[in-house]
Amino acid sequence: MTSLPRLRALVVDDEDLARHLIREYLQGHADVEVVGECENGLDAVKQIGALNPDLVFLDIQMPRLTGLEVLELTGRRAGVIFTTAYDEHAIKAFELHAVDYLLKPFSKARFDDALARARTLHASAAASAASAPAQGVEALVARRGATLERILIRDREQVHVIPVEQVECIEAQGDYLAIEVDGKCHLKPQRISEIEEQLDPTRFLRVHRSFIINLAHLQAIERPGPDRHAARLRSGKRVPISRSGYEKLRELV
C-alpha cells in the first residue's frame, strides 16, 4: 500500500481553543505534521516565509492583519484552508471561487472533507487541477474590502500598515508603486491600475497615467506652461496632471 505524501501544516488563529481543536482533529491523520502555530497575522506572515508549509489553516478575522491581508503580503495562494465565523450568506463568496473553508463551529467530518480536498490538490501535479483554487484565492484577496482603508507593504522582515488617509500620492515606477507618506517613500510591487480600483474614487484621483493623488492633500492646481497643469500637494510636491486628469479634477474640485 502506497503511503500518503507528508504534509507540513501551519495553524493560524487568534483563538487558543480553535488552534487546539485543529490540532486535535489532525491527530488522526498521520500524514500531517503541525510545524507551527500563530495567533496573529503578523506572526503568520513571518512563519509562512520561514517554514513554507504545504498547508495553512488560516483564520479570516484576526488582530493586526486579517487572513486575506496575510495572503496579500506573502503571495500565498495554494494550500490554504480558511477557518471563519462568517455567516452562510457571506460564505457563498468563498464557494463561488472554489476555495476551501471551514465555517465555525465545524465538525470533524467537515474538517476531514476539507483536508481530503487539500491532499488531492497537493498531490496532483497537473496545472489544471491546481489552477481553480489558486485563482479563487487570488480573487478573494483582490476583493478583500469594498474600498481600501489601509495599504500593506512588506520591507524585508518589516510590515508597514499605512492608513490610506495618510497617503499623499502614489506613483507608478515600472512594476512597483512609490507610495508617499509623511515625506517617506515606500515601494510596493503592484500595478497602479489595480490599486486605483481599490481606492475610494471620491478621495483619490488618478490625474496622470503614472500618478494618483489624495484629494485631501491637494493645495492648488498650477499651470507651469501652455496646456500643462500640475497639482501642488501639502508637502510642496508637484505632480503632473494630464489633460484627461485635469478634466476629472475640475469636476471634483
Is 2 a member of any domain? Answer: no
Mean pLDDT, residues 187-191: 93
How many helices (H) and strands (E) the chain has is answered by 8, 15
Q: Which pLDDT score, from 0 to 100, does residue 77 have?
A: 81
pLDDT tens digit sequence for 209-250: 999 999 999 999 998 888 899 999 999 999 999 999 999 988
Supply the pLDDT for residue 134.
Answer: 60
Q: Quick one: 226 exposed, middle or buried, by C-beta within 10 A (0-12, 13-18, 19+)?
A: exposed
- Domain range for 74: 7-142
Task: Work out the pLDDT band at 148, boundaries 50, 70, 90.
Answer: confident
Q: What are phi and psi of 22, to 5 degrees?
A: -65, -45
> How much is the average pLDDT of 29-34?
94
Question: 192 is written with which cell numbers?
Answer: 497602479
Residues 138 and 154 in one domain: no
Domain identity same for 212 and 235: yes
The pLDDT of 13-33, averaged and rounded, is 95
Is the domain of 123 the same as that of 198?
Answer: no
* Residue where a domain stops, chosen among 81, 113, 142: 142
Q: Is pLDDT above 60 for 158? A: yes
HSE on the CB side for 110, CA within 13 Å? 13
